[in-house]
Structure 1
C-alpha cells in the first residue's frame, strides 16, 4: 500500500512511526522516514516496536488438544518408520539374502566392469532402494554420487573401498553427498541400501 510522504507535524510523524514499527512500509516509503528517524521518529518507533512485540503475549493461551501427542506420533509412524522397515532388511541372515538373490531378476549394470544388479524392494515415498549387485570377476564399479546415505553388506567375495578390502559379513556405510568407486578383486555378491536419486559420475 502506498502512503503519502510524512509531514513534519507531530501527529503525522507519530502515524509514520507506527507504520514503520509494524513493518507496513516498503523500501521506497521507508526512505523519507529515515531522515526523521535520528531526530524525531527514532524514540517513537522504538516505543511502538516494544508495543508490537508485546501483542503476542496478550493473546489468551489456547489449550493443547489432549490427543495431540498421539496424533503426532501416529504421523511419525506413518512416515519415518516406513523407511526403517526397508533398512531392517540389512538384519536378514546372510544365507537367507543369498537365497533371495537367486529369485530376483538380474540386469546388466552400466559401467566399466561386468556387474549386474537386481532390485529387491523399493520405498518410493522415501526414494530408497534395496537391491543386489554381483560380479563373477575382478572389476571396477561405476563411479557414483550418493544423494543420501548408502549401506552395503558383503554377502560373498570381496569389495575394495578406499584401498580397504571388505569380505563376507562386512558392512560399508557411505555418507550422503559423497562420491566413490569401489572395486572387487575376485568378484562379489552385495546387498545394498541406497537412494533412488544416486547418479553415475563420468
Structure 2
C-alpha cells in the first residue's frame, strides 16, 4: 500500500512522495503526531501554498545524503571550524512553515543551540546550512525561505544547486557562502556518486587526500 493514515498510524511506502493540497497547520501537526518518534515519512508544510508534502526515501537517497554530509564535515574540519549537525530534525515556525532537511549544520550559530533537545525557530536561529537530496521528490524551496535558512543545497541527479538567501528569497549561486574557496557545485557530486558506485569510504578517503 502506498500510504496508510489512521488514528494510530502514518506510513508511506519507500520511494514515494504524496502532496496534500488545501491543508492547515493543524493538519500538519496532526500528521507529525501520528508519525510519533519515527523519522519517516518526512513531512513539510507551507502556509503560502497550503500544501503538506510527505516523502519516504529509498536506500540510494540515504547513501547519497550520508556521503554528502560527511564531505561537508571534512571541509569544515579542514577549515578548522566547529559544527553541530542534525538529522533527523523538524524545523518549524508556527503556523507558517515546517521542514525536515535531510541534514543541516549549525556553524556560525552553533553556540546558540548546544545542549538543546528541541530547536524552536521562534527563539533560536536557523541552521547555517540545510541539505536536501531530491531523489524521488522535489524540495519546497518556498518553505525554506519562510524559515530563513541562509544557505540551502539541493542535490538531484548528479547536480548540486546552491541557494543563498537574499532578502526574502533564495538566489541560485555558483559559490557557497560557507565554502567560497571550494567549487562545491562541481567537486562534491563526483564524490557523492563515487560513494554510491564504489563505496562511501573510498569516496571520503579520496576527497580527504585532495
**What interval of TM-score do these two structures reach, taking the shorter chain for normalisation?**
under 0.3
Q: In terms of Rg, which structure is larger?
A: 1
Per the normalisation by structure 1, the TM-score is: 0.25
Q: Which has the higher helix share?
A: 1
Per the normalisation by structure 2, the TM-score is: 0.24
